[in-house]
């Protein structure tokens, strides 16, 4: 093969090889988009304050609701009904809670408050008597005399007459009561005012009263502490606190003359008669009471406990979240009541609450 042919062959081979090499494209490839991590919904806190009476139940609701809606935190401060009413009145919380309905004066001075029964509970007359764990019977007039300092010894004839067979000690009675504005105080003084004309004229009923005798404790927790730490003490606490602290409590003589133990059933019996006459959620509840209720098996010292919220919400998104929580609490949340010794709401009360919650609005538009 001559030199010219070799050159031609080399040139053709170079052209062929060049065609086999991939040339850079003039079209730039599309950049792969950066995938942003999904942002978790912002945590929203609904702040509440008020009654110590329902605190164990509201605490349970808070944790259970957070499992369903992890971005919603329910922050409830157990500060007493009086403080709760003050805070919702000042709009420093999203909701209040009270064991006492608003008085006529409170209702008329605070525009647009809704009162939503959340549960029903019993107030017990609790005692610390070494050696006497159960079975003490008391009547309203005797309790009134003890809390006024007119009966001062455990072996007083009036106590002995109600309790044949029990050997009471000749010890001074120490009275324990609430030191803060309290719905629990309202319930017990409402009861004593209903059964003792002497109490009604001398002390009366209210979230705070001038106690003639005794030691003050803050919250149901404080009174429970006084009872646990001081032998020969008598006081009043919500049933759940007595059970949790293993504190003894009395059977109370009811309107029918029967000595009744505080239980879910006997407390529900007392509430049943009031249900058909309950007012609308945006009306006054000042006359609502289930103390000294009729019925052979009705426990005479109990109350509805209430959420307090504004009908007109100032934050649309938060108002909706609040209404959804309240709706859940008076429906699904009721299944947690019995285990904590609160009476689940009757169906008629749930229906009433549905109408009330639907009144919550933002600029005239319902939030749910």
Average pLDDT for residues 328-343, to the nearest whole number? 97
Mean pLDDT score, 314-323: 97
> Which domains does the chain carry?
44-120+272-286+303-366 (3.40.190.10), 123-270 (3.40.190.10)
pLDDT digits (tens, 9 = 90+) for 108-132: 988 899 999 999 999 999 999 999 9
Q: Is the pLDDT of residue 31 over 60?
A: no
Tokens read off for 81: 């009904």
d(CA 194, CA 292): 7
In percent, the amount of the chain with pLDDT more than 70 equals 89
- Kindly tell me if the per-residue pLDDT of 22 is higher than 90: no
pLDDT at 39: 52
Over range 181-204, report the average pLDDT: 97
| pLDDT tens by residue, 278-300 | 999 999 999 999 999 999 999 99
Tell me the pLDDT tens digit for each residue of 303-314.
999 999 999 999
Which residue's entry shows tokens 């009031």? 274
pLDDT of residue 41: 65
The per-residue pLDDT for range 135-154, each reduced to its tens digit, is 999 999 999 999 999 999 99
203-254 per-position pLDDT tens digit: 999 999 999 999 999 999 999 999 999 999 999 999 988 998 899 999 999 9
Kindly report, residue by residue over 70-111, the tens digit of the pLDDT: 999 999 999 999 999 999 999 999 999 999 999 999 999 888
Q: Which residue has the higher pLDDT, 256 or 3?
A: 256
Q: What is the mean pLDDT of residues 42-48?
A: 95
At residue 240, the pLDDT reads 87
What pLDDT is recorded for position 29? 44
In angstroms, what CA-CA distances link 180 with 154, 210, 252, 350? 27, 11, 25, 30
Query: Which residues does 247 contact at the CB level (< 8 Å), separation at least 6?
Result: 126, 127, 128, 224, 227, 228, 237, 241
* Average pLDDT value over all residues in the chain: 91
Q: Cβ–Cβ contacts within 10 Å for residue 273, how many?
A: 13
User: What is the mean pLDDT of the segment spanning 315-341?
Assistant: 97
Residue with tokens 């300092």: 149
Could you list the beta-strand ranges (E) of the chain.
44-50, 72-78, 95-98, 113-128, 137-138, 174-178, 215-217, 233-238, 248-249, 251-253, 259-260, 302-310, 361-362, 365-366
Cα(122)–Cα(260) distance, integer angstroms: 12
Q: Is the pLDDT of residue 18 over 70?
A: no
**Contact yes or no for 97/49 (Cβ under 8 A):** yes
Q: Are 65 and 72 in contact (CB under 8 A)?
A: yes
pLDDT at position 244 is: 85
pLDDT given at position 50: 97
Higher pLDDT, 5 or 265: 265
Question: What residues contact 105, with CB distance under 8 A and at least 6 apart?
Answer: none
């Amino acid at each position: 093969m001559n030199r010219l042919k070799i050159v031609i062959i080399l040139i053709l081979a170079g052209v062929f090889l060049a065609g086999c090499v991939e040339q850079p494209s003039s079209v730039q490839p599309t950049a792969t988009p950066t995938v942003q991590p999904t942002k978790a919904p912002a945590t929203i806190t609904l702040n509440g304050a008020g009654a110590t009476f329902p605190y164990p139940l509201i605490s349970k609701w808070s944790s259970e609701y957070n499992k369903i809606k992890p971005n919603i935190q329910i922050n409830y401060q157990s500060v007493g009904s009086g403080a709760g009413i003050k805070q919702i009145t000042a709009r420093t919380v999203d909701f209040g809670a009270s064991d006492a309905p608003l008085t006529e004066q409170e209702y008329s001075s605070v525009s647009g408050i809704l009162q939503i029964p959340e549960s029903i509970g019993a107030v017990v007359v609790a005692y610390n008597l070494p050696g006497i764990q159960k079975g003490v019977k008391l009547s309203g007039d005797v309790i009134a005399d003890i809390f006024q300092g007119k009966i001062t010894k455990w072996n007083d004839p009036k106590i002995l007459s109600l309790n044949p067979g029990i050997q009471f000690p000749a010890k001074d009675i120490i009275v324990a009561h609430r030191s803060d504005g309290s719905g629990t105080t309202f319930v017990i003084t409402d009861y004593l005012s209903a059964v003792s004309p002497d109490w009604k004229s001398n002390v009366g009923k209210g979230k705070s009263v001038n106690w003639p005798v005794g030691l003050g404790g803050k919250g149901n927790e404080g009174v429970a502490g006084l009872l646990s730490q001081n032998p020969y003490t008598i006081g009043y606490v919500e049933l759940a606190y007595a059970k949790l602290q293993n504190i003894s409590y009395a059977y109370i003589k009811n309107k029918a003359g029967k000595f009744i133990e505080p239980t879910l059933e006997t407390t529900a019996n007392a509430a049943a008669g009031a249900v058909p006459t309950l007012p609308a959620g945006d009306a006054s509840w000042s006359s609502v009471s289930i103390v000294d209720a009729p019925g052979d098996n009705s426990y005479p010292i109990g109350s509805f406990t209430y959420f307090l919220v504004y009908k007109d919400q100032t934050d649309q998104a938060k108002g909706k979240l609040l209404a959804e929580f309240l709706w859940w609490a008076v429906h699904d949340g009721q299944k947690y009541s019995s285990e904590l010794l609160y009476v689940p709401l009757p169906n008629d009360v749930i229906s009433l609450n549905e109408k009330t919650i639907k009144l919550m609005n933002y600029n005239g538009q319902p939030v749910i």
